[in-house]
Chains A and B, each alone.
Chain A
Amino acid sequence: MEKLSQDYRSAPFFDELIDHEGAPRPPARQLLHYLESLPPEELDKRRQTAEATIQEMGISFTVYTDEGNIDRSWPFDIIPRTIDATDWKIAEAGLKQRLTALNQFIDDLYHDQNCIKDGVIPEHIIKDSKNFRPECVGVSPAFGVWAHICGTDLVRDADGEFYVLEDNLRVPSGVSYMLENRALTKRVLPELFENDRILPLDSYPAQLFETLAALSPRQVAQPEIVVLTPGIYNSAYFEHAFLAQQMGAELVEGSDLFVDEDDCVYMKTIYGPERVDVIYRRIDDLFIDPEAFEPDSVLGVPGLMRAWRAGNVALANAPGAGVADDKVVYAYVPALIRYYLDEEPILKNVETYLCEKEEDREFVLAHLDKLVVKPANESGGYGMLVGPHSTKKEQQTFAKLIKENPRNYIAQPTLKLSTAPILTDKGEIDPRHLDLRPFILQSKDTYVTTGGLTRVAMKKGSLVVNSSQGGGSKDTWIVDTKGTEAKGE
């Protein structure tokens, strides 16, 4: 892979590894130097090792198709993405700040709604929110925290600065893949971990355990923590099993639990019923309790909401936390940070047009070919319009959708998403767009993962990174460059 830096150009985008002159950025220096020292056959061999390892380790995700569910191997690119530890410190502080404010906001919404009374956010936005749950009003979860596990998507724009693209507070996925990507990279490029100062990230399962254990309503030495999964057909089942195993918690399905007359949750064991203290649920709100929500759901546990409201079991994330997932609420987060914390937001939002505002809507309708339009409450990259890549007909469809239900749509300028090189099937090095999903844990303490899950659009020029839409991923290195300089590089 000689001359990589000479031939490789990604302008006008910000490339994470290589600057506009073709020189490696400081945290990528050793990585690129090393990659350039490998003959092309060797690099291809490493890629094959990675593919075989993924199959053997059974790292997969499930895709829903018309023909049924398909278990797919995890798409992985072997070239890691690097971020300077100094930059990351700022992002980390910004994420902590953001989640602290968001949790105060959710708690406020289900109690006094001061933010509405004080005019920070219009009342109708909450009233029309699909994810506001009246069933949660008046409940006070421990530490005032509702979103215990959040995956916030960050992107870098052409200026190299981090922007928040969206917050995922319902049941965010991907953290197991972040850990597996690291395990894979260690197997594929072991030499690199000797020289670079790559910050470790394997403490996540332990941090998650601490976060959950702190929520236990019973003050016992060993609270019973379970991971509640919809089952093997869920796209993130691999992750559910992985996290349960790593934490030493039980992986349960709805039918393994029941709520007894004492409003406590029990699991069905070979010894008889055993009390459950904390449920890390990976099922959406509407399916967790057929008694409270969808009566036909067989995924959940009848009476679970009753037990939670009575304070006999902790649910993470708490029901109703998804209200802050709303992309319209997203637009107000900077204002919420100022309101609750009296601080300036450290991380910027992407400029957002709210279609429910007449002025914004006019602008959006006139510029559909340039903007990205997103529904307020979808995830997984579904139901979006990427203006510059869309047809006239698609734009007309979206114009109609927006006019019919303006509250449900937002639009953002197409960002010049940063890129990083991937190793293509042909063995070439080519830039691809990417984003980053760090995970933020919050209960008694707040914790942010070292980096996060980097997702890559594997198709040239594409901006869609979701794995359900054919995106891939790579290991993310937070590199302590100060350390290497001090060592006298």
Chain B
Amino acid sequence: MLSRVAERLYWSARYLERVENTARLVSVYDELLFDLPREVEISWYNLITINSGTEAFEQRYKNKDERNVVKFLLSDDTNSSSMLSSLKMVRENIRTTRDVLPQEMWELVNELDLFARQNIKQGINRSERHAFLNTIIEGCQKVVGLLAATMCRDAGWHFMIMGRYIERADMNTRILDAAVSQMLLSEEDEVIKLGQVIWTKVLKSQSALLNYRRTVRSTVNGAKAVSFLMMDDYFPRSQKYCMTQIREAASTLPRSGLIAANIDKLLEETNAVESSEELNQDYREHLNDIQVAIIELNHQITENWFYFRQGDAA
């Protein structure tokens, strides 16, 4: 596997996951609108903060309203993480690695890209947003399904696994952060009522609600939802699961020792939350630390496999 190809596969999987997760993130907030008591304002701008997009956003928009936030997240081509930008990057990375991927991959990605571009207005206007985002999520899952069913489990596959799960882990912490910060913004007497709604939506956005019920067997509250999304051994979107997948994929590749050690350290620091009171400003810092560690992990993957140094032992 060429180092360059490995890098592009890794990023194509990251961007594909980012497309799906951006759609999920927007739909959590969108659904909140339906279920929250009328007097509770949700802060769409939260989504910009948790995605570290404040600077770019403020250069483009004056008004921090729903429409601008959604536009920024879904369609803005000056935002390199927007859904359309990410989709474009998936397409570019696939375009240059078609020779190692299942043939239908290119076709599916093209279809998805065309659909997103042609119907992006539906995503921005509230009335059809849900259906639009759903189709995007389904489109991403179609690609993932194609890969699962037809891609050789060679090095290329393992790089895509690493890309997918590192992006998912990153977004997982951001979605949790979005919920925690929304909770912290709320008035004290609303918190209990709100908690149910918000954390149920978070679980739903990750397709985790039913799994949560089966595993946790309790009503939804912040501490339990966060613990489930951080610690569950079997749920494929939990932090622990993502990290374990990266560790396993890395172990099939040469020179993976350092990366495995770092993931072990990260896993040790991932803990359950005992009570919802713990979901405070400190916890947001904790989530931030995890994000920094994930960024560091990305650096190590890049250093280890994508920068070819002549003279490396074969």
Complex alpha-carbon distance, A10 and B300, angstroms: 67
Q: Is B96 an interface residue (CB 8 A)?
A: yes
Q: Is B308 an interface residue (CB 8 A)?
A: yes
Stretch from B45-53, B107-115, B210-218 at the A interface = B107-115
Q: Is B142 an interface residue (CB 8 A)?
A: no
Q: Is B251 an interface residue (CB 8 A)?
A: no
Could you say which residues of chain A place their CB within 8 Å of the CB of B149? Answer: none
Cβ 8 A contact of A274, one of B114, B155, B314: B314
Could you say which residues of chain A place their CB within 8 Å of the CB of B107? Answer: 56-58
Q: Is B60 an interface residue (CB 8 A)?
A: no
Q: Can you offer 30 A-B residue contacts whose CB atoms are under 8 A? A: A55-B110, A55-B114, A56-B110, A56-B111, A58-B95, A227-B99, A231-B96, A232-B92, A237-B95, A241-B99, A242-B98, A245-B99, A249-B99, A256-B2, A258-B310, A267-B2, A268-B3, A268-B308, A269-B3, A269-B308, A270-B2, A270-B6, A270-B155, A270-B253, A271-B254, A272-B254, A272-B313, A273-B310, A273-B312, A274-B314
Closest to A251 in B: B99
Whether the pair A232, B4 counts as a contact (CB closer than 8 A) is no
Q: How many residues of A contact B (CB 8 A)?
A: 30
Chain B min CB distance to A317 (Å):
20
Q: Is B103 an interface residue (CB 8 A)?
A: yes
Could you say which residues of chain B place their CB within 8 Å of the CB of A270? Answer: 1-3, 6, 155, 253-254, 305
Which residues from chain A sit less than 8 Å from chain B, CB to CB? 55-58, 227, 231-232, 237, 241-242, 244-245, 248-253, 255-256, 258, 260, 267-274
Whether the pair A241, B95 counts as a contact (CB closer than 8 A) is yes
Chain B min CB distance to A268 (Å):
4
Complex alpha-carbon distance, A169 and B312, angstroms: 38
Q: Is B235 an interface residue (CB 8 A)?
A: no
Whether the pair B314, A56 counts as a contact (CB closer than 8 A) is no
Could you say which residues of chain B place their CB within 8 Å of the CB of A58? Answer: 95, 106-107, 110
Chain A min CB distance to B93 (Å):
11
Could you say which residues of chain A place their CB within 8 Å of the CB of B155? Answer: 270
Whether the pair A245, B308 counts as a contact (CB closer than 8 A) is no
Which residues from chain B sit less than 8 Å from chain A, CB to CB? 1-6, 92, 95-100, 103, 106-107, 110-111, 114, 155, 253-254, 305, 308, 310, 312-314
Q: A256-B4, A269-B1, A273-B310 given. 11 additional CB < 8 A pairs?
A: A56-B107, A56-B114, A57-B106, A58-B110, A232-B92, A258-B310, A268-B4, A268-B308, A270-B2, A270-B6, A272-B314
Closest to B306 in A: A270
Cβ 8 A contact of B2, one of A237, A258, A268: A268
Nearest 3 A-B pairs (CB), nearest first? A272-B314, A268-B308, A244-B99
Could you say which residues of chain B place their CB within 8 Å of the CB of A250? Answer: 2, 5, 99
Complex alpha-carbon distance, A406 and B13, angstroms: 56
Complex alpha-carbon distance, A241 and B8, angstroms: 14
Complex alpha-carbon distance, A64 and B42, angstroms: 48
Chain B min CB distance to A328 (Å):
38
Could you say which residues of chain A place their CB within 8 Å of the CB of B114? Answer: 55-56
Chain A min CB distance to B283 (Å):
38
Complex alpha-carbon distance, A267 and B281, angstroms: 50
Could you say which residues of chain B place their CB within 8 Å of the CB of A252? Answer: 2
Whether the pair A245, B314 counts as a contact (CB closer than 8 A) is no
Complex alpha-carbon distance, A232 and B305, angstroms: 23
Q: A256-B2, A268-B3, A270-B1 are in contact. Are A241 and B312 (CB under 8 A)?
A: no
Complex alpha-carbon distance, A130 and B217, angstroms: 79
Complex alpha-carbon distance, A34 and B271, angstroms: 70
Chain A min CB distance to B238 (Å):
28
Complex alpha-carbon distance, A342 and B99, angstroms: 44
Closest to A248 in B: B99
Complex alpha-carbon distance, A420 and B106, angstroms: 33
